[in-house]
Chain A
Amino acid sequence: MTAALALDGVTKRFGDTTAITDVSLALGQGEFVALLGASGCGKSTTLRILAGLDRPSEGQVLMQGRCVTRDSAAARNIALMFQSYALYPHLSVYQNIAMPLRLRHLSVAGRLPGAARFSGAVRRTREDIDAQVRRVAAMLRLEPLLARKPGQLSGGQQQRVALARALVRKPAAFLLDEPLSNLDTQLRADTRDELRALHRDTGHAFLIVTHDQSDALSMADRVAVMIAGRIEQIATPQQLFHTPATRAVAEFIGHHRMNILPQGPAAALHPAGKGLDLGVRPEDLRLQADGPLQAVVRSRAFHGEETILSLQDDRGTALRMVLRGGSALPLPGDSVRLTAPPEALHGFDACGLRQQVLS
């Protein structure tokens, strides 16, 4: 299958600094991909190159297998929803949504007020635009707001207007820059469901850029993890979580940062630890009276449904573990013994690449 939108070996330099290095990424027809990375890792640059707002220094941008590297943003017909929404403040909600269609389908003369009175073609185009604007507005429940100006809307309403403006012209691909970052927790959860539903209903290819891994893991079919300008791994959320390809991904993904036991001392936990660094998620560590790992509790933090222990093992490595439930929690200063099931261990070689740990 030809990808709806793809980057092939793209590098972007600004002066002496390299923002992204050798990025290849394919967005299949109707696929939902998330580009996940910490702020400043180059994900916005990647998005701007995909949209056609910036040109890559090296590499190519492909749409349906055709090279569009030199094409303008408008020529690519890619919709982009901005983090700040970037609505036109002087136009009503209706006019904001209609803008991409007016610019695309009406000439300068056709956009003049009253032009429909003189030309049948302009009138038909305008009726067509009107129908599409109302269809999208209905889909996003914006009908009661069509006459308002963006300044009179709440953040969530502005977000839906921005979505509507991006969706109205049946784009070849749909890019969203941090679509949820300006919303409060409740609205965030609702909007996640809504975006999923929108993706299902429209069938467009979606690419969402986010720094929030729960957004990425919960919504996307595939997640591309970007660290320091490079794509470290592209995989399904499950693969990413259970079999991270590199140590950097392993430490990045997960609500609690993964513990890494250095090669050597790690052998206490598993024989593979003689030659590999071993990672174990804080949720996978268990308290066990005869466990192979000895550690001292440094501090304890209660988080409602879970309690997080900070520990230090006898070789000085800082560890973290998550305990659920309130049964007999150790106190700071207590000495405890820990274990982890072999299938929960992640082995990484000296280059940080994943190696098999036999259980």
Chain B
Amino acid sequence: MIRAALTDLLLVGPAALAVVLFIFLPVGVVFGLAFTDYQVGAAQAEWVGGANFAQLFGSRLGRNALLNTLTYAAIVIPGSVGLGLLVALGLHGMATRLPRLSALLRAVYFLPVAATLVAMAVSWQMLLHPSLGLANTWLQALNLPGQQWLSDRGLVLYTLAGIGIWQSTGYNMVLFLAGLAAIPSTLYDAAAVDGADRGWTRFWSVTWPMLGPTTLFVMIVTAASAFRVFETVATMTAGGPAFASDTIVYALYREGFVYFKAGYAAAITVVFFLALLALTALQMLLVERRVHYR
């Protein structure tokens, strides 16, 4: 009995210790720091209660970062999930008639996922360059005015959202393709016999409900990555111009690693962590039971 317990401890112990030491403990420290005014390198810190949180939600800058992140996510989530589904439907339908082209396009759509986003950001910067970029050249060819894609305060967030959609569509497409391949073809036959033999009726009566579990997963994954948006902001705009593209994680990076305000950065982390946790839990609770059909 005791031997068995010791064996269990020996097997589980080291990994558990590492998890506690390197994950739970730091998270605990971050939660603690969030209520202090600690600065990196300082000898001591004062307990400030909820002041850091008040600053995040109360200051113009803090609210701006929160609102920008929400706006970004509100565009990227439906955009890349919808586009991913659309592309997957198209490629899935094409796979029987033009298998080679379908496979080629699948690789093309997946490239942005496989590529390093920081490197891709440089190419985007070239494409979006106000005078030399391809984007404005095309607009001019269509007799439309060129845009200051990355330095127009009203536009920059939408530009970044567009790049976000471009980046995650391929990943969502792959997930949807797997979901589509898993739908039994007899279900489509049954629908055809029942009277849903084409187009929307077929989509709504078979494809969409059968993709439920996939869609839920894709939504959660996309939401998590959209709220974490950082690389494009850091490399292309640095949150500018005038904080127009400032997002939560970029603000966290700036406060913590540029201004060394560890306490405030910790507070942002806590809010971000809780928000993501709540979002995921909500999606699971609300949607899960309506998707798995048990």
Among the interface residues B184, B195, B209, B212, which one has the most CB atoms of the partner chain A within 10 A? B195
From residue 74 to 108 of chain A, which have CB atoms closer than 8 A to chain B?
74, 78-80, 82-84, 86-91, 99-100, 103-104, 108
Bound-state Cα–Cα, A48 to B210, Å: 23
Number of chain A residues whose Cβ lies closer than 8 Å to a Cβ of chain B: 29
- B114 adjacent to chain A (CB < 8 Å): no
Which of A53, A79, A99, A104 is within 8 Å of B189, CB to CB?
A53
Q: Is the CB of B186 within 8 A of A82?
A: yes
- B89 adjacent to chain A (CB < 8 Å): no
Please indicate the chain A residues that have their CB under 8 angstroms from the CB of B190 in the complex. Answer: 80, 82, 86-88
Q: A90-B209, A90-B210 are contacts. A100–B195 as well, Cβ < 8 Å?
A: yes
Bound-state Cα–Cα, A152 to B294, Å: 7
Q: Is the CB of A108 within 8 A of B192?
A: no
Q: A103-B205, A151-B294 are contacts. A74–B197 as well, Cβ < 8 Å?
A: yes
Please indicate the chain A residues that have their CB under 8 angstroms from the CB of B189 in the complex. Answer: 48, 53, 73, 80, 82, 86
- Closest chain-A Cβ to B292's Cβ sits at a distance in Å of 9
Contact flags A162-174 to B (C-beta < 8 A → 1, else 0): 0001000000000
Interface size class of B (residues with CB under 8 A): 20 to 34
Please indicate the chain B residues that have their CB under 8 angstroms from the CB of A103 in the complex. Answer: 194-196, 201, 205
Q: Is the CB of A108 within 8 A of B201?
A: yes
Q: Is the CB of B195 within 8 A of A86?
A: no
Q: Is the CB of B193 within 8 A of A78?
A: yes
Bound-state Cα–Cα, A201 to B192, Å: 27
Bound-state Cα–Cα, A78 to B187, Å: 16
Closest 9 CB pairs of A and B: A103-B195, A86-B190, A90-B209, A86-B186, A74-B195, A100-B194, A73-B192, A89-B293, A80-B193
Residues of A within 8 A of B (CB): 48, 51-53, 72-74, 78-80, 82-84, 86-91, 99-100, 103-104, 108, 149-152, 165
* A-B CB contact pairs (8 Å), 19 listed: A52-B192, A53-B192, A72-B192, A73-B189, A73-B193, A74-B192, A78-B193, A80-B190, A82-B189, A82-B190, A84-B184, A84-B186, A86-B184, A88-B187, A88-B209, A89-B210, A90-B293, A103-B196, A104-B195
